[in-house]
Amino acid sequence: MPSSQNLPPLHFVLIGHVDHGKSSLIGRLLHDADALPHGKKDAMEEMCKRRGVTFQWAFLMDALQAERDQGVTIDSAWIRFNSHGREYILIDAPGHERFVRNMITGAERADAALLVIDAQEGLQEQSFRHGFLLHLMGVRQLGVVINKMDLVGYDAARFNALEKEIREYFERLDIDPVAIIPVSAVEGDNIVRHSANMPWYKGASVLEALQNFQARGESVDLPLRFPVQDVYRNDTQRILVGRIESGQMQVGEELLFSPSNQTATLASIENHPGENPAQAQAGRCVGITLKEKIFIERGELVSHSKNPPVESDVFRARIFWLAQTPLRTGDVCELRLANTRIPADIENIEWVVDPASLQRNQADNIQANEIGEIIIRARTILAFDPFDENTNTGRFILARDKQIQGGGTISMQGYTDRRLTRRATNITRVPHHVTIDERARRIGHKNGVLWFTGLSGAGKSTLALTLERRLYEQGFQVFVLDGDNLRYGLNADLGFSPEDRAENIRRAFEVAGLFSRAGMLVITAFISPYASDRTRAREVIGDSFREIHIHADIEVCKERDPKGLYEKARSGEIREFTGISAPYETPKNPDLTIDTAANNIEECVEKLLAYIEAEFRL
């Protein structure tokens, strides 16, 4: 076997359905790779004689007495061994479904994985679940070990059939197993040395496959991500401590802190006493000090300004649920993201995924050991990365009552970064000499923004224009800002991606705010599908903002389809269409709801007029 010298250590996780021979494989691998302490096997055989049990290779690594008695691996065991000059860290993860939580913990830091399949039993439900979890945890280097080939007579046809099934499954997960190896752990076939019992197999042995795996390293080439774990204070300085998850930092650089969006210059990197390196990179636990005196708390995510993380309070997630109590829409969990702990609402359960067929099925809850796709809304803005861009800062845990209940990965599909970067400099606000109250007394009513939000076809524009005429006739200074009208001019450069939608609404509420501060009553008619954008509009406009939900369910809107947009969306002509291929986040606590399915136009307008008289007329 070629030398593995100069290769970095490899962390690999070994997983498999209970009784598929995983522990036996480990024992045999350690023995045949000459990685066991001298005399360990002899001592174990002697112990088995004293206890009156038959020696099993699994006993070489099942260190817990409870595991030997029950025949089940309970905890994740880390085993270091060397072979041909390379160091391996073997993470033995439990296979029983009751201990999936430990399996996830074991797989979290793995560079690669070996999945063990019984040649007789083949792929089981738990095998599919393990495969999907590897996909979920971002493990892309995979070897599959078909064990117990001796029990099927070393049959090449049986192996070929299993290999075909395995490759077809993992192809749907975008994972290409680098090796599928027929072995007998009991007999030592293809563990370290090639087997004379299977001359038809020409591929790598288990140890050769491990040698070909690449260590993932510490993500040095990714953008800097340094979650602040704690802040140490002494008489003269504050030291921010944590682990650099990706990238690198250098003294003298400007650092960005998210989500507070403060910046400061890196003054020093504190390592061991007396060690102050000029730079540090991913994988290092360090303390840092800043030149500027800014207030930083645990949970801030440090980056460079040119490659910042995403900021948002809402994201899409694929999760694995562990708790016996199902997860339901509306539940509140503690979201643990890097070093942040924050309450979060389960806003919607979109799908439950069958790990075997990978089909997505609609459900109103996620049961223990099920995989789901959900929408999570945190109670505050968070900083993170989509999982496919940075696995280190794109994973999270959900907890309840201080107990871990599930975990998952982050996607921003259908959502947008809420970070607002101000590029203009050397600007100063100019105060007006006419106050808002003076304008109100002159006009006879208070200023305000009536923010109509709802699905396409709900009746926003129809109501807005009818209401505008009625208010004008009653002496109100009123103007309608319609979404389509703005896209003809001010927003003509924007499309319908999540980012462009957010910018469309940002420009709209800034314009609405200006009209309102001029004393007018502004009626806006925008789908504005994201709750975060409507929240930002309220923050910018202030107390004069009113969120009006123009409600009609999706089926009613499809039947109306006044602009023919739903038909175009169904045919694929329009992509990213709200309610069909893009989300609409229904207001939870609007200032007023107008149901256009239950009321005609005149009834809706009368309700709006009554509300406006009560809220805005002096």
Residue 20 to residues 41, 115, 123, Cα–Cα distance (Å):
22, 10, 10
Residues 242, 339: contact at Cβ < 8 Å? yes
What six digits make up the tokens of 375?
Answer: 């929408």
The Cα 385–Cα 139 span in angstroms is 17
Residues 33, 83: contact at Cβ < 8 Å? yes
The Cα 119–Cα 184 span in angstroms is 9
Of 4, 258, 461, 528, which is the active-site residue?
Answer: 528
Residues 261, 230: contact at Cβ < 8 Å? no
* Residue 456 is among the residues annotated as catalytic for this protein: no
Count the Cβ atoms, other than its own, within 10 Å of residue 457. 22
Residues 567, 561: contact at Cβ < 8 Å? yes
First-residue to last-residue Cα distance in the chain: 89
Residue 102 to residues 96, 106, 323, 412, Cα–Cα distance (Å):
10, 6, 13, 28
Tell me what percent of the chain is helix, strand and coil, each rounded to the nearest 5: 30, 30, 40
Q: Which residue shows structure tokens 């000029």?
A: 278
E strands, 436-544, are 448-453, 478-482, 521-525
For helices 498-517 and 531-541, angle between their N-to-C axes, nearest 10 degrees: 20
The Cα 209–Cα 191 span in angstroms is 10
Active site residues: 528
